Chain A
Amino acid sequence: QSALTQPRSVSGSPGQSVTISCTGTSSDVGGYNYVSWYQQHPGKAPKLMIYDVSKRPSGVPDRFSGSKSGNTASLTISGLQAEDEADYYCCSYAGSPWVFGGGTKLTVL
């Protein structure tokens, strides 16, 4: 049950795009199309942004998109806005059954 690997931090200016990676193994990210992404603002509960690798829940802007290649999943945020500044976590089904990434702090410059 090792945590998925995410960069500690990423940054971008308003209007730009950023991509956050999430690297696992063939036993989790690479083995299932059940990768999800969560946004968490300070002091708040996490919010689901992407599920099943690339699907968006109702109400999530289409600026948020997800993809996967092999054992690495990615979250791309285009047209960065100030309110996107938050921590982002990936999560994958792993048979055990779940494993989270360590989290990435997104700073909007």
Chain B
Amino acid sequence: EVQLVESGGGLVKPGGSLRLSCAASGFTFSSYSMNWVRQAPGKGLEWVSSISSSSSYIYYADSVKGRFTISRDNAKNSLYLQMNSLRAEDTAVYYCAGGVVVVAAFDYWGQGTLVTVSS
């Protein structure tokens, strides 16, 4: 069974940093691109970042470019999101998502981890 489990969320002050993790199981993690998608309270889904299977290709939304860094450790079946210079507008539930059975969509999602940026 495919499982994605996020961790690392919490309360952080504006300007602070946080590192999110996503532990993957039930599939060959090293073969698939992975993504972070976030959802601000009461708002819609927003794609944040994507990383290819071998980390050769990395993409960011304009809203986080230069502040967030996506990475992965295929040996540990883990995906990461390093978030620096956090702003109030980064407050959201952050989901780890992947296209495993389906290539060009997100067919598996984690349960999400809440990041709150507030003083």
* Interfacial residues, chain A to chain B (CB-CB below 8 A): 1, 3, 34, 36, 38, 40, 45-48, 51-52, 57-58, 87, 89, 91, 93, 96-103
Contact = CB atoms under 8 A, between A and B. Distances in A.
Contact of B44 (A51, A98, A101): A101
B50 A97 contact: yes
Contact of A93 (B97, B104, B107): B104
A99 B35 CA distance: 12
Contacts of B37: 46, 100
B69 interface: no
Contacts of A51: 102, 104-105, 107
Contacts of A46: 37, 45, 95, 97, 106, 109
Interface string B54-82: 00000101100000000000000000000
A89 B45 contact: yes
Contacts, number: 64
Nearest to A1: B62
A57 B104 contact: no
B104 A100 contact: no
A37 B48 CA distance: 18
12 contacts: A36-B106, A46-B37, A47-B109, A51-B105, A52-B104, A52-B105, A57-B107, A93-B104, A96-B59, A97-B59, A98-B50, A100-B45
A54 B90 CA distance: 33
